[in-house]
């Protein structure tokens, strides 16, 4: 193992290596909290990662670990009871300017202009992205005309072309369908078309294929890869499914209870996982973890509620490698194993 070095968990630099192209997105020490009647819930408690141009970053972790809140924080679409309590969300715009999205007002013109035009999003349930009372074509055209000056005829042509490139059959007819008239897979394609019509620099896809059957899932993932190549955009793909991450990503961020616990290249995460949580996650995936005749591993317990955030390392009640007297009282720092690979765990302290 390479010599470990400690880094301050709140100020980890995951940005580009010296001489490399700047990141499209550089998130540092992000904290997002909810104000509730019972007190403050710390949904994100220090999340750092970066995404380079044309990179696909996979974000994994069990349900409730803060993946969707990370996406909503970047896009500034958090529910009203949530706020960004710390950290930076540096985004490089098309004209090369670095903007800290965490500092902007969620309803400001600047944020609205960036969202949709420069960063857009697809999620699990396309019905929530579309209004049921307008055709998908009109909604795609509206998304385009909100951000770019374009005649109605040109906008319709762009929408038809986009539907064609996401593999919609007979796009010039189906453009006039209402969302409920399409199958789940077709609606997902239409949502991707709407997200990509402005040619964003970055796409955030939150469980984009979770609701689809495996054949359609494979088609949608393949489509996302092709569009990413053609349009040269960066993608952050959020999923609880490690096989999706293995197939799609160059780098992987593993999240647990609102923190980044491991980050590295897809090879490092799958072949040299260091964090006990990552190892447990991998061991519990049927195709990846199970040798013939072996029973499938399950991770002990469940992700605790934010109301019961454990002391010390938040994973300690479930961790097979927990060091009593240390892990249950002291939060681990983030330790760098090499230029990319880093882990938040006492086992790797210097
Ligand atoms: N509106 C809310 N009020 C309070 N807690 C919330 C709210 N939305 C999400 N949470 C909590 O934030 C945590 C992270 O949620 P989420 O980002 O949706 O997880 P994931 O996408 O990884 O499944 C969860 O514990 C969830 O219960
Ligand atoms: S810090 Fe301790 S409890 Fe947490 S993951 Fe590492 S070994 Fe397990
Ligand atoms: Mg989610």
| Shared domain check, 216 and 299 | yes
Ligand 2: list residues with CB < 6 Å.
276, 313, 315-316, 319, 321-323, 327, 332, 345-347
Q: Where are the beta strands (DSSP E) in the chain?
A: 5-7, 25-36, 39-51, 56-60, 82-92, 98-100, 119-123, 202-206, 234-238, 251-256, 259-265, 334-336, 342-344
Closest residue by Cα to atom 3, ligand 2, is: 316
Rounded CA-CA distance 201/232 in Å is 8
The domain boundary, picked from 199, 233, 255, lies at 199
From the CB of 315, is ligand 1 less than 6 Å away?
Answer: no
Rounded CA-CA distance 202/115 in Å is 10
DSSP state of 21: P
| Nearest one of 254, 332, 259, 344 to 299, comparing CA atoms | 254
Quickly count: other Cβ atoms within 10 Å of residue 244's Cβ.
22
The domain boundary, picked from 199, 221, 256, lies at 199
| Reported pTM | 0.90
- Does position 258 have pLDDT exceeding 60, yes or no? yes
- Structural domain of residue 333, as residue ranges? 5-118+201-348
Do the beta carbons of residue 107 and residue 39 sit within 8 Å?
no
| Shared domain check, 334 and 256 | yes
Number of separate domains in the chain: 2
- Strands 334-336 and 5-7 come out as antiparallel
The domain boundary, picked from 173, 199, 225, lies at 199
| Shared domain check, 157 and 50 | no
Residue predicted with more confidence, 294 or 153: 153
Pocket test for ligand 1, best of 33, 40, 69, 79 (most atoms within 8 A of CB): 69
Per-residue model confidence as pLDDT tens digits over 21-63 = 589 999 999 999 999 998 999 999 999 999 999 999 999 999 9
Task: Output the pLDDT for position 199.
Answer: 87
- Does position 6 have pLDDT exceeding 60, yes or no? no
């Amino acid at each position: 193992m390479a010599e470990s070095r400690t880094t301050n968990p709140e100020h980890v630099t995951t940005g580009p290596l010296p001489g490399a192209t700047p990141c499209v997105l550089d998130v540092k020490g992000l904290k997002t909290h909810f104000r509730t009647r019972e007190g403050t819930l710390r949904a994100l408690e220090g999340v750092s990662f970066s995404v380079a141009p044309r990179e696909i970053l996979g974000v994994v972790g069990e349900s409730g670990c803060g993946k969707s809140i990370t996406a909503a924080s970047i896009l500034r679409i958090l529910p009203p009871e949530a706020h960004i309590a710390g950290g930076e969300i540096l985004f490089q715009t098309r004209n090369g300017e670095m903007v800290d999205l965490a500092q902007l007002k969620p309803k400001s013109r600047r944020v609205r202009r960036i969202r949709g035009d420069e960063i857009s999003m697809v999620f699990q349930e396309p019905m929530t992205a579309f209004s049921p009372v307008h055709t998908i074509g009109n909604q795609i055209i509206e998304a385009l005309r909100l951000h770019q000056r374009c005649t109605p005829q040109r906008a319709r042509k762009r929408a038809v072309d986009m539907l064609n490139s996401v593999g919609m059959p007979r796009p010039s007819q189906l453009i006039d369908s209402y969302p409920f008239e399409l199958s789940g897979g077709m609606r997902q394609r239409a949502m991707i078309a709407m997200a990509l019509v402005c040619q964003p620099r970055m796409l955030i896809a939150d469980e984009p294929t979770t609701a689809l059957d495996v054949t359609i899932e494979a088609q949608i993932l393949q489509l996302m890869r092709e569009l990413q190549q053609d349009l040269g955009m960066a993608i952050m793909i959020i999923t609880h499914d490690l096989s999706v991450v293995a197939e799609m990503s160059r780098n992987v961020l593993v999240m647990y209870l609102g923190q980044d616990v491991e980050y590295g290249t897809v090879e490092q995460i799958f072949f040299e996982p260091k964090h006990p949580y990552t190892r447990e996650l991998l061991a519990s995936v049927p195709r990846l973890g199970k040798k013939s005749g072996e029973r499938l591993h399950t991770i002990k317990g469940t992700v605790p509620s934010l109301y019961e955030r454990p002391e010390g390392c938040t994973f300690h009640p479930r961790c097979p490698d927990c060091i009593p007297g240390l892990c249950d009282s002291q939060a681990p720092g983030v330790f760098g194993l090499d230029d990319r690979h880093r882990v938040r765990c006492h086992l790797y302290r210097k």
